[in-house]
Each structure stands twice: as C-alpha cells, then as structure tokens.
Amino acid sequence: MGTIWTKSKFTKADLDRKTVEFQIPIRGGILKKLAEFRVRQNSDGELAVDIVTNVQEKNPAEHLQNLYHLPLSGVERVTKHPDPSIADFRLVMTGV
C-alpha cells in the first residue's frame, strides 16, 4: 500500500508524536486504545497520518509496533480530546 496523503485542519506540528485515544473498525470488531500519531508532510503540505501502538512482548526487551495508516475519512474525524488528561486527541471511526 502506498502513502496516503491527506489535507487536515491540523498541522504536522499539532499532531506528530501526540497522544490519541482511538476507536477504529478492524476485522472482527472495534479496536479501542491509546496510542501516538506519527505524521509526515510532503512538499504540497499534505499529511500522511499514522497511529502507532506498542505491544509489550513476553520478553521485556521486545515490543511490537502496529501502524495504522489513516485514510482521509479518519484524518477528518480527528478532534481535540475533551479530557486532555487522557490524550491530546481523539478519533472515533466506528459506524463508518
């Protein structure tokens, strides 16, 4: 899959490395987690927004990172979190 470039009401600086509480549909259900955005910007000012989750493996020296590439419909649903003690941003994509 190629990079998904999108327009956003937020800038790269607003989102990159910021926390996000998210709910997204996955095979067999809904994934609800806290994670972090990773954002790249191209020369046209478009953003590629990924959600990165970390999963601790049995060995404490190992962890697994999952990357979820957000389509435009996901980027458009990113909002400031109403409770910043939980996360900086929130994304709810259920029912899409």
pLDDT digits (tens, 9 = 90+) for 20-54: 999 988 888 888 999 999 999 999 999 999 999 98
- What is each CA distance from 89 to 36, 54, 57, in whole angstroms? 9, 17, 26
Q: Which of 11, 18, 81, 7 lies closest to 52 in space, CA to CA? A: 18
pTM of the entire structure? 0.86
Euclidean distance between the first and final Cα of the chain, in Å? 21
